Amino acid sequence: MDRMPKAPASPVLVSAPVDGLGVPLNLEARAARLLDEGQAVVLLTVVEREGSAPRAAGTRALLTAAGLEGTVGGGLLEARAVEAANVCLKEGRSARVRCDLTGLGPDSDMICGGSMDLLCEYLTPAQAPLFRAADAALKAGLTGIWLLDVSRADAPERDLYLDALPEGQALVAGLHEGAEAVRPLLAGRKGRPGLVREGLAERYVEALDAPPVLLLCGGGHVSLETARLAHAAGFVVDVVDDRAEFADPRRFPMARRCLTLPAFEDLAARCGIGRHHYVAIMTRGHSFDREVLAQALKTDAFYIGMIGSSSKKASVYKALRAQGVSDAALDKVCCPIGLGIGADTPQQIAVSVVAELMAARAGTLGALRAAR
């Protein structure tokens, strides 16, 4: 395994490209596009972290001749990683690089400690169809598992196992239909990406899953600020309102979709609410909030939150109980929405809401809300 070179120059950072809706392209889509354009590409992946190194396994970035898209940790670590990846880019080869941050003193610009193992994977044009298939799966809401045999650092072998193929998708090199055979590898790591060692074999496993979708029900001031911050934090943002002027792409340029629904009728079906959805209820009235919440509770939404005071919560919950909604279902709703940070302005409330969304995604929300 290569060691990190010393005293590298700072890398050139490139803004992540976006699609026609202003949504950042997922890495799979971007890699496929670059390969189709004939560009040389190195995919940097943190495959293992020890101690308090800045980024966890599964962190990825792309390097081209133009510079780095994404980040694997910043500072000295990233500069060294990019220098090693640039060698791979020029020589057309892959490599594993170990970055050891232990023993660095206070005069260093990286005092996190710990170590990181990075794979600098040189991608070939022949892999473009595989990354296109991964992108198609993500857009279709399908799931799968990336599996890389990294036993030979200079020649990693990448395969993608999809639970189901996207409609019209043919099998291409490295693509497999059905992920059950490799799912135990991911389950053994409790779903987290990282290395799996079996004898002399060493494989890196990572889930392929769609990004989280924030569905903002209501397009008012708080929703606008929440949309901006959530988009920056990596959420795909959809907005729905009963008024066209508040569900306008010109008002929400960062949103993937803006939808006008009179009285929020048929919300769940029209918005396709599923397990990747985080539903934030911020409509212009209690009756609309009640209607949206009643619909959201019938879905598989990962998270449901509703803005409002304790009196509003009591009123809405009383009405829903009268409709047969159980206390167990209502207990899953985060109301008032947002972490308790003393937020007051729309911008501050947005910070508390997005922090709560991120905590829900990380699995730490229960403990945080219990401490309120």
> Any idea what the CATH number is for the domain that residue 236 is in?
3.40.50.720
Q: Residue 161 sits in which domain range?
A: 2-208
* Same-domain status, 71 and 156: yes
Predicted local distance difference test score (pLDDT) of residue 20: 43
What's the sign of the alpha-carbon dihedral 233, 237, 241, 247?
positive
pLDDT in tens, 9-40: 545 545 455 444 444 568 999 999 999 999 99
Say whether 7 sits in a helix, a strand or coil.
coil
Task: Specify the DSSP class assigned to residue 368.
Answer: H
238 shares its domain with 145: no
Residues 127 and 224 in one domain: no
Out of 180, 208, 236, a domain closes at: 208
Q: Give me the residue label for tokens 């997005």.
A: 354
* Residue 188: inside a domain: yes
- Measured distance CA(60)–CA(81) in Å, rounded: 12
43: in domain:
yes
Whether pLDDT at 281 is above 50: yes
Whole-number pLDDT of residue 289: 94
Residues 64 and 183 in one domain: yes
Domain co-membership, 203 together with 217: no
The answer to whether residues 178 and 286 belong to one domain is no
> Tell me, what's the pLDDT at 115?
77
Whole-number Å distance between alpha carbons of 367 and 369: 6
Concatenated DSSP letters for 334-364?
Answer: BSS-S-SS---SHHHHHHHHHHHHHHHHHT-
Inside any domain, residue 135? yes
Residues 229 and 138 in one domain: no
Least confident of 56-70, 111-125, 192-206: 111-125
Judge contact between 17 and 25, C-beta under 8 A: yes
Task: Decide if 368 is inside a domain.
Answer: no
pLDDT value for 209: 86
Kindly state whether residues 12 and 93 are assigned to the same domain.
Answer: yes
Q: Are 166 and 140 in contact (CB under 8 A)?
A: yes
Residue 23 backbone phi and psi in degrees, to 5: -90, 130
> Side chain identity at 243, as an amino acid letter?
R
Q: What is the 3-state secondary structure (H, E, C) of 280-337?
A: EECCCCHHHHHHHHHHHCCCCCCEEEECCCHHHHHHHHHHHHHCCCCHHHHCCCECCC
- Considering only residues 344 and 113, tell me which one the structure prediction assigns the higher pLDDT: 344
Cβ pair 251, 244 in contact under 8 A: no
On whether residue 158 sits in a domain, the answer given is yes
Of 1-15, 40-54, 101-115, 304-318, minimum mean pLDDT range: 1-15
Q: pLDDT tens, 133-144? A: 999 998 888 899
Of 184, 208, 232, which marks where a domain is finished? 208
Whether residue 71 lies inside any domain: the answer is yes
Are 48 and 196 in a shared domain?
yes
**What are the pLDDT digits (tens) for 223-247?**
999 999 999 998 989 999 999 999 9
What pLDDT does 101 receive? 67
Residue 254 has pLDDT above 70, yes or no: yes
- Residues with Cβ within 8 Å of 199's Cβ and at least 6 positions away in sequence, in order, are none
Q: Kindly state whether residue 9 falls inside one of the protein's structural domains.
A: yes
Residue 257 has which token pair?
């979709």
Q: pLDDT at position 269, please?
A: 92
Beta strands 201-208 and 194-198 are: antiparallel
Regarding whether 121 and 24 lie in a shared domain, the answer is yes
341 found inside a domain: yes
Q: Say if residue 204 is in the same domain as residue 225.
A: no
Task: Give the pTM.
Answer: 0.71
In percent, how much of the chain has pLDDT > 70?
Answer: 88
What's residue 17's pLDDT? 53
Give the pLDDT of residue 62. 96
pLDDT digits (tens, 9 = 90+) for 332-364: 999 999 999 999 999 999 999 999 999 999 889
Mean pLDDT, residues 269-274: 92
Structure tokens at 281: 């209820």
CB-count exposure of residue 33 (10 Å: 0-12, 13-18, 19+)? middle
- The predicted-structure confidence for 166-209, as pLDDT tens digits, reads as follows 999 999 999 999 999 999 999 999 889 999 999 889 999 999 98
Residue 229's SS3 state is: helix
180 Cβ contact partners less than 8 Å away, ≥ 6 residues apart = none
Count structural domains, the chain.
Answer: 2
Of the residues 182, 208, 234, the one at which a domain ends: 208
Q: Is 23 left (phi over 0), alpha (psi -120 to 50) or beta?
A: beta
271 in the same domain as 337: yes
